[in-house]
Amino acid sequence: MPAVKVPTAGLTKPTIRLRATFKAALLLLALFMVLLPRNRLSPLAYPLLFGVPLVYAAVRRDSERAFLLWTTYAISFAGFIVGRRLADDTGVPWLHQYVIAIDRAIGFGTLPTLAFQRLWYSATLPTRLDAITIGFHLSYYIVPPSVGIILWITNRTAFERYLLAISATYLIGLLVHFLLPTVPPWMAAREGFAEPMARVLYDRVHTAWPTFYSFGNALAGGNDVAAMPSLHMAAATLVALGFARIGRLMALLGLLYALGMGFSLVYTGEHYVADLLGGMIIAALCWRIAPAVLDRMMPANDDLRVAAEPQLLA
């Protein structure tokens, strides 16, 4: 698509310079923020996945809204990663009873994590299921920003909605982490609040690749009681909602990804089903209200005309 110049008629030169200065400052802030969080897989992942779109949107004169949304996403995500490390040290009591009660009700008296591990987990024999579920867990550090890029290329309306929704989801999730520091299943088992359960991620990765586990935990760890809501599940839900706007095949792929993520988080002992529901509810609400917020806060400019596109889901 050929670039469309941003109309500057009626703007004075000082105003134009001021806008350019503000844009440069916002870009530098966003780039600085994405250097703060680290990735379990590679410390270069976030600078690349966020930095490249940020710089591209900044230099394109027909991508003002995209630039603002990428900076919003980058700053909110980095703020979430940094802020969540503080959420377990506020003096608020760590909670466990309410999620255990919810999951026992869902599992008819048995915690779903315990039921899954009794069926398929072996402490002495690593399985393909262990590897698959750990892969889903780790994909959280790569997939959401990658989906933002895919939607930017394929469906501009879904892209804008996705980036604003996921930005709001991270900020709301951070607030809940501060208000409701919640113990995950593996920790509840360790502390005697629930029956013994394995922490599959630790058992498998730490045993096979102790250096890699220590590296990942040092970079992306920092708060073991940030279980409610599950931001892994919230992001997977938004991936599914965004992919549903591209086509039926992508909608199916997004649904399978969300289901796989949900099962993996419960099976590995990282989250309760209640945590997943919390993440899904927050993500769905943010997805629902994102269009109205976009219309109010980022009205369409003359330089960006988004064509009406067929929509699979309301």
Residue 261 resides in a domain: yes
Is residue 26 one of the residues assigned to a domain?
A: no
The pLDDT value given to residue 58: 82
Number of domains in the chain: 1
pLDDT at 307: 40
User: Considering the domain boundaries, does residue 292 fall inside one?
Assistant: yes
- The pLDDT confidence band at residue 205, using thresholds 50, 70 and 90, is confident
Note whether residue 305 is domain-resident.
no
Give me the pLDDT at residue 141, please. Answer: 87
Neighbours of 93 (CB within 10 A): 6
Is residue 171, in this structure, part of any structural domain at all? yes
- For residue 310, being part of any structural domain is answered with no
Tell me the C-alpha distance between 196 and 182, whole Å: 18
Is 254 within 8 Å of 244 (Cβ atoms)?
yes
Q: Does a structural domain hold residue 163?
A: yes
For residue range 18-31, list pLDDT tens digits in order.
666 666 676 676 66
List the domain range (segments joined by +) for residue 273. Answer: 61-297
User: What is the share, in percent, of the chain residues with pLDDT greater than 90?
Assistant: 55
226 bridge partner residues: 182
| 25 domain residue, yes or no | no
Residue 128 has pLDDT above 80, yes or no: yes
Quote the Cα angle for 45-142-168, to 5°. Answer: 105
Higher pLDDT, 193 or 36: 193
User: pLDDT tens digits, residue range 47-98?
Assistant: 788 888 888 888 887 678 888 899 999 889 888 888 888 888 888 999 999 9
Helices marked H in 36-155 — which ranges?
45-59, 64-84, 97-106, 112-120, 128-139, 143-154
